[in-house]
Structure 1
């Protein structure tokens, strides 16, 4: 499966628990929706992913990717130290200038 470069980096940095490089996949004003919370801008996104890495130690295995215009949906098997692991999640991505401008994680 071929992924856009930024989505490839998104998966790679998640699997390496590299929160700094992960954050660089996003625009300055990006918005993330996950677990009923909203995180806006790179600082909040970095704090969110650092907490998630520490709490869940999750990694993702891409299963499917669909793209339409500037939006993509990555379906991945996510494993970690959370109840119910592994689970299949969808990452709804808004892309802008080869970066992620929005991300919504759904189950």
Structure 2
């Protein structure tokens, strides 16, 4: 599967539990929507993913990637310490200038 570099970097950072590398995949003003909460900016995103890594120890395996006009959708099998693991999640991404501008994670 041919993923854009920033998406491949995101998956690698997640699987290494590297919250700093994960956050650098996002623009300074990026927004993440996950579990009913909004995280604004690279620093908040870094804190959010560090907390999620500690709680869930989730790893991702890309299943498919689809680019649309305004967003891309990465489907990934996500495994970790949470009920129902593993599950396939949809990562709705808006990418500009080779950085993620927004991410919404849905089941």
- Which range, TM-score by smaller chain? over 0.9
* Structure 1 residue 68, shift from structure 2 partner: 1.8
Aligned residue number for residue 81 of structure 2: 81
Instruction: Name the residue aligned to 1:40.
Output: 40
Contact residue 70 and residue 96 of structure 1 kept, 8 A: no
Aligned-residue RMSD, C-alpha: 0.7
SS at match of 1:17: coil
Q: TM-score, structure 2 length as denominator? A: 0.98
Tell me the number of residue pairs that the alignment of Structure 1 and Structure 2 aligns.
Answer: 107
Match of 2:9 in 1: 9
Q: Cα offset for 1:69?
A: 3.3
The answer to whether 1:65 aligns with 2:71 is no
Unaligned runs of 5+ in 1: none
Tell me which stretches of 4 or more aligned residues in structure 1 moved more than 3 Å. none
- Contiguous gaps of at least 5 residues in structure 2: none
